[in-house]
Structure 1
Amino acid sequence: MLGKSFKIIASLLLVIGLLLTFVYINRGDVVRFALDLPAFETEVGSVSTVQVRMSDGVRLDAEVYLPAGEGPWPVILMRDPYNRSTCSLKVRYGYACVHQGVRGRHDSEGDWYPVISERSDGLETLDWLLKQTWQDGNIATLGPSYLGVVQWSMIDQMPEEVKTVVADISHGDWYEIIHRNGHFVQGVMTEWAKSLHLPDASFEEMAAHRPAIENNDVFLRGDAQWYEDYLANTDKVGEYWSSEAYSLTRNAHKNASMPVLMMGAWHDFFLNGQFKVFDELPQRTRSLLMIRNGNHVWQNSVLEFINTYGYSFKMTLDWLDVHLKGQVVEQLPESGYVLQDNVDNGWNHFPSWPQKTGTLDLYLGNLGGAVTCDGGTLGFSRPVGSGKASYHYNPNEPVKTIGGSYNLYSGGAVAQGDDNCFRDDVMSFESGVLNEPPTLSGSIKVLINVSSDAPDSAFTVKVQEKLSDGRVINIRDDITSLSYRNGSIHKQPYVAGSVVELEFNLTPIEWKFQPGSSLRLDISSSNYPMFNAHPNVEGNWSTVVNPAVAQQEILGGMLSLPVR
């Protein structure tokens, strides 16, 4: 009861903090003081609402914020499905700001279907913007999450007046946000669907409903055809995900002509794709990637949130001042990586990253004892005759999600107890105290040899730091089905009972272990409701009504840690 009360209080404090932050954004000097921002340059001059007509006749609603005084001004463009404008703060720093609702959302006309119209609508909006007398020919697009996706969708065709793109927690490969190695990312997409179409719908009921393909009609009044289409199309190389809109959005960054400020979070579901996009930018040597602590919605304490958000906002201001106003900001790196430390929350600039200098390999041992909490071992030499770990995986009783990166509103590197460790379907391996606590820099690799008596099934890994006080902190986790194992974009055959090697290349991370800590690896077959519970049958999981129970075996494996 005490633990539940604590969670409620913590959630209330988080909500209060977020509400205060949104209030601050419209309170001028209060928000500037709270976030430790530089002095304002001007007042808000005017705010007007305009209708921007697209070539097909659809009108998109936009608010235009202009600074006080005489223009023209450099302009920030944000295109948004949420109707959460932050223009009133940005305009105080001498920028005109346009906040537009995307097609089919709020007061904008047309039908809402994510991604499909964003490229054409965004480019036509830029054409309209260039005709306005209050802009000075220096434009930036800006925004997080879906507001970032709309930027990536058109980045290769933006006019030369767009001098930079500021894209937070986002990239353009929409498939990778929805499907993860044969699993549906329910913690993101189901939450997002209900928040957009019917916020009062129950996420728990939607996640548990079978068959899941009915969720749109049963819970969302049939308004989210796009959500139903995502469930029906699981193969990245299939016709649906190979269509022009998704292909262009996925690849547009490869032909971007301007420098980009990218921002991410260490426990955000976009991060893995952000590393790939950043490496592929043509203006990579003039672009910057900043990664903060927390998850998709920040989720630190209120004070940590304010400090981190303030740092991010100041970096954005500095970047805009350099690229739209031609100012010199000495403290702003021109390129590379600015990374927040997981222990002291400080910031470090790395011209290149990761800083890996070697690997630390640990091998799974005492597999037969892994059914007990930390009963398996992680040793520095390959064991001989270590046995095997066996367990039953029942999709009707999946392992509960605690933390992690593939959630929309929760998750992260949360400290936790051993709730899941004591389950008999979670195999747990522990290293013992690390005498010289390492710093990880790069991607952790996990290799495990497994078998299942099902024709298709799932396996999960969770790499954690076990602190000296017994608490456990998430570092990285992942999931795969046998049919989409080892990162395959094609469905692979699996013969029930056969042994296969699963390779997990986890999202890169910079992570300091604390003195007295040990390393822990948990292996299981579900991480629910963050991911769908695999039904242990072949075919599209979202059409299955009656799942099966599977007998799983782990026959060995290893971790390879990138250390510096």
Structure 2
Amino acid sequence: MTPPRDARPHAVIAEDGALLRGWVWERAEPRGVVLIRTPYGAWRHGDTARAWVGRGYRCVIHDVRGRHSSDGDWHPYLAERSDGRAVAEQVRAENPGLPLVLSGGSYAAHTALEAARAADVDALVLLVPALGLAETAWDENGRPQLRDRIGWWHQHGRGPRSLPPLSDEQLAACVQRAADMGVHRAAEEWGWSSEVLSGWRRLWSAPAVDLDRAYGALRAPLLLIRGDHDFFFTHAGRLAAAWQGPVHLVDGPWGHRLAADIDDDEVRSRLRRAGGIGGVLDSWLAETGLPTTASAIAAPASGRSRRTRSAFESETGRWRHERTA
């Protein structure tokens, strides 16, 4: 790990005494604070932190339990509510009077949602969210997402540090083995520890998240960014439909890596000229009454409407903004 030169260390003691660590990116006279909790290495998210700093925020990015600099054992999707509460409450106490925004993409979106269940927050900004174990294991038609899950668990699911990804040939062989033998028997050949195998079995037997029960009490404004070609697209739509507070949905021709997944150079250029996803974020922050110092190029439908949507049109290179409820 190479510590970021422009951030300071941050630590929180969890309920069971585990030390959860991360970094804080500062700015002079912050007008808000953003918290992100990730399993992929907090120090790797410096660009994201600096973008938030440029909008007027202090940005706190933490490693989740059992990953990188944080103590404890790594069990994907099992400890994020209590740990998220501990970190969010301390960050709130350290920043009295400042609005607290929880943010993150994919797994980090899950950590933000779970923390919001247990801590007082002012808003959430979620990108291509992974809602839970079952939602990552199965697609909307009940088919196993073997390639994505096998690849993810080989690389990220087996210890405090991520491992090199499987080659295309290795991954294809593992997927075929799982299709032929079943996901559990195949995994027994991969040299995983009994603890990892237990988590793997839990993945495939976990129930889907009951969105009403989990998040039905939340009223904080939500900016929810999904992609037309993201494998979590439908699950993000379910979350938007279940959200009881104001929600602004952002759609566009990208996948799980957002604009990085757009292969067409002209479409990427059109998106950039239209202000990108960041332009919608800036306008939403302003509409929601949250600080932003960046230029708001795109303009969502009025925040007075509870449900709104921005969709990027590849053909015209423009954002379409609409009220959906």
Q: How does the TM-score come out when normalised to structure 2?
A: 0.79
Correspondence for 2:53: 91
Change (3 A) 1:308 1:124: farther
Q: Paired residue for 1:323, among 289, 292, 303?
A: 289
Change (3 A) 1:177 1:308: farther
Query: Hey, what's the Cα distance between the residues in 1 that align with 2:202 and 2:130?
Result: 21
Instruction: Decide whether the 8 Å contact of 2:14 with 2:83 is kept in 1.
Output: yes
Give the aligned CA root-mean-square deviation in angstroms: 2.9
**Letter aligned with residue 126 of structure 2:** A
Instruction: Decide whether the 8 Å contact of 1:288 with 1:337 is kept in 2.
Output: yes
How many angstroms does 1:188 deviate by? Answer: 2.2
Instruction: Summarize deviations over 1:519-562 as a string: whole Å, max 9, x none.
Output: xxxxxxxxxxxxxxxxxxxxxxxxxxxxxxxxxxxxxxxxxxxx
Instruction: Summarize deviations over 1:324-353 as a string: whole Å, max 9, x none.
Output: 239997933224111122534432112128
Kindly tell me the number of residue pairs found equivalent between the two proteins. Answer: 292
Q: Paired residue for 2:251, among 272, 291, 314?
A: 291
Q: Paired residue for 2:203, among 214, 227, 230?
A: 230
**Structure ranking higher in strand proportion:** 1
Q: Paired residue for 2:300, among 328, 332, 336?
A: 332
Q: Paired residue for 2:190, among 211, 216, 219?
A: 219
Correspondence for 2:175: 207
**Letter aligned with residue 75 of structure 1:** V
Q: Does 1:166 align with 2:125?
A: yes
Instruction: Decide whether the 8 Å contact of 1:101 with 1:108 is kept in 2.
Output: yes
Correspondence for 2:113: 152
Change (3 A) 1:125 1:140: same
Query: Hey, what's the Cα distance between the residues in 1 that align with 2:217 and 2:126?
Result: 16
**Letter aligned with residue 332 of structure 1:** P
Q: Paired residue for 1:120, among 48, 61, 82?
A: 82
Query: Hey, what's the Cα distance between the residues in 2 that align with 1:215 and 1:112?
Result: 22
Q: Paired residue for 1:346, among 318, 321, 324?
A: 318
Q: Does 1:268 align with 2:240?
A: no
**Structure ranking higher in helix proportion:** 2
Query: Hey, what's the Cα distance between the residues in 2 that align with 1:131 and 1:220?
Result: 44
Q: Paired residue for 1:78, among 13, 23, 36?
A: 36
Change (3 A) 1:217 1:110: farther
Query: Hey, what's the Cα distance between the residues in 2 that align with 1:316 and 1:341?
Result: 17
Give the secondary structure class of the aligned counterpart of 2:173. helix
Query: Hey, what's the Cα distance between the residues in 2 that align with 1:135 and 1:336?
Result: 31
Correspondence for 2:279: 314
How many angstroms does 1:65 deviate by? Answer: 0.8
How many angstroms does 1:258 deviate by? Answer: 1.0
| Larger Rg computed on CA atoms | 1
In the TM superposition, 1:482-497 aligns within 5 A as none
**Letter aligned with residue 143 of structure 2:** H
Give the secondary structure class of the aligned counterpart of 1:279. helix
**Letter aligned with residue 207 of structure 1:** V
Instruction: Decide whether the 8 Å contact of 1:75 with 1:135 is kept in 2.
Output: no
In the TM superposition, 1:516-527 aligns within 5 A as none
Instruction: Decide whether the 8 Å contact of 2:284 with 2:299 is kept in 1.
Output: no
**Letter aligned with residue 340 of structure 1:** F
Correspondence for 1:506: none
How many angstroms does 1:127 deviate by? Answer: 1.1
**Letter aligned with residue 184 of structure 2:** I
Query: Hey, what's the Cα distance between the residues in 1 that align with 2:154 and 2:316?
Result: 36
In the TM superposition, 1:286-435 aligns within 5 A as 286-298=246-258, 299-301=261-263, 304-305=267-268, 308=271, 311-321=276-286, 322-325=288-291, 331-333=299-301, 334=303, 335-352=307-324
Query: Hey, what's the Cα distance between the residues in 1 that align with 2:97 and 2:8?
Result: 19
Correspondence for 2:102: 141
Correspondence for 2:216: 254
Instruction: Summarize deviations over 1:136-194 as a string: whole Å, max 9, x none.
Output: 331101111111111222333331xx211011111535413312444311132112112
Give the secondary structure class of the aligned counterpart of 1:154. helix
**Letter aligned with residue 283 of structure 2:** D
How many angstroms does 1:303 deviate by? Answer: 6.0
Query: Hey, what's the Cα distance between the residues in 2 that align with 1:54 and 1:324?
Result: 29
Query: Hey, what's the Cα distance between the residues in 2 that align with 1:119 and 1:311?
Result: 32
Instruction: Decide whether the 8 Å contact of 1:65 with 1:87 is kept in 2.
Output: yes
Q: Paired residue for 2:17, among 57, 61, 74?
A: 57
**Letter aligned with residue 103 of structure 1:** R
In the TM superposition, 1:462-501 aligns within 5 A as none
How many angstroms does 1:306 deviate by? Answer: 6.4
Query: Hey, what's the Cα distance between the residues in 1 that align with 2:124 and 2:191?
Result: 34
Give the secondary structure class of the aligned counterpart of 1:137. coil
Instruction: Decide whether the 8 Å contact of 1:165 with 1:260 is kept in 2.
Output: yes
Q: How does the TM-score come out when normalised to structure 1?
A: 0.47
Query: Hey, what's the Cα distance between the residues in 1 that align with 2:200 and 2:53?
Result: 36
Query: Hey, what's the Cα distance between the residues in 1 that align with 2:270 and 2:80?
Result: 33
Instruction: Decide whether the 8 Å contact of 1:261 with 1:289 is kept in 2.
Output: yes
